[in-house]
Amino acid sequence: MEAATVAAPEGAEEETADERLARQMEEQQERLGTAGQEPAPPVEEIRVDGTTQLGMFDAGGKQPTTATIALTGGKVMLLDGKAFRKGDVIEFSGTAVVREVSQSDKADPKTGIVVSASQDHRAQITDLVVKGVVSE
């Protein structure tokens, strides 16, 4: 399969799609101030700081002791028909708006008595930028 060539910035020679993608990634890293830095090691569990106190409103029942957030939506088109392999780890950044906050009780399976509660959030991704593959 022959590599596709695309027009390069004015005054430069034509470049392949792979070269253009590499150049764009380098430019983005320079803008973000991350050029030349090693990527962060993969995390097992992502921790996020919220903007309000847990259980700020009284929904009745037990006060929540934990909180979760689920990100929904968000989709970007991949350049020049590029794709990812199963198992690829990608780095991205984005913006999401919290659209839903709910509380759920956690009952003891044997007794049925509520032993704790969780405050659950759903946030819709409104802007998503895929920075690239961190590892394969």
* Model pLDDT, residue 110: 93
* Model pLDDT, residue 90: 85
Q: What is the pLDDT of residues 119-133, one digit of tens each?
A: 888 999 988 888 878
- Mention every residue, 6+ apart, whose C-beta is less than 8 A from residue 75: 128
- 106 beta partners: 116
Q: What is the pLDDT of residues 47-81, one digit of tens each?
A: 666 666 665 566 667 788 888 888 888 777 777 77
Can you tell me the mean pLDDT for 23-38? 71
* Model pLDDT, residue 25: 72
Three-state secondary-structure class, residue 50: coil
Residue 42 confidence (pLDDT) above 90: no
DSSP 69-101: EEEE----PPGGG----TT-EEEEEEEEEEEEE
Range from 5-9, 25-29, 44-48, 79-83 carrying the lowest mean pLDDT: 5-9
Residue 92 confidence (pLDDT) above 70: yes
Domain ranges of the chain: 1-37, 48-135
